[in-house]
Amino acid sequence: MSAIVAIVGRPNVGKSTFFNRLIQRREAIVDAVSGVTRDRHYGKSDWNGKEFSLIDTGGYVVGSDDIFEQQIDKQVELAIEEADALIFMVDVETGVTGMDEDVAKLLRRVKKPVFLAVNKVDNAKRAEDAVEFYGLGLGEYYPLSSINGSGTGELLDALVEVL
């Protein structure tokens, strides 16, 4: 079985754009965890000859009074559980948000490799802005653009090393 990599992060940071850029074919949703509707997209990808499955998470629970529940919904938790490694995506256009901080807090407790991807770094000016993401306390980050593809190779090089 190939390794599983989940892409997590708040809505609109570019997770699906990144996912669609990487996957070669979609995988069928094979099982139904009891009582849980699977709202996660799976795809196959490979890099440097290493094949892996990617999960695109979406669908945060909206409207919950519990802020933590609202932001890090069950689907994301399940994806984190089943993944071997995680890509935590954030958005340089908006900078660090409270929701990013909540996800970072959750991920700091996860004993799996986490790769912080700062998306929408489409140009050099934005590369400078990306430094504020050190503030999330997750260490090194990977600046990239899911739209033009720059920086994605560096992230994938590091990712497949741990798979």
Q: Is 12 annotated as a binding residue?
A: yes
DSSP-assigned letters across all residues of 107-160: HHT--S-EEEEEE---SHHHHHHGGGGGGGS---EEE--TTT-TTHHHHHHHHH
Q: Is 151 annotated as a binding residue?
A: no
User: Which part of the chain contacts ligand GDP (CB under 6 A), choosing from 36-44, 98-106, 133-141, 145-153?
Assistant: 145-153
Nearer to ligand GDP, 75 or 119 (CB): 119
Q: How many chain residues touch ligand GDP (CB under 6 A)? A: 14
147 part of the interface to ligand GDP, by CB under 6 A: yes
CB 17 within 8 A of CB 146: yes
* Minimum CB–partner distance for residue 24 and ligand GDP (Å): 18
Of the residues 58, 84, 126, 132, which one makes contact with Mg ion according to CB under 5 A: 58
* Residue 22 CA from chain centroid, whole number: 13
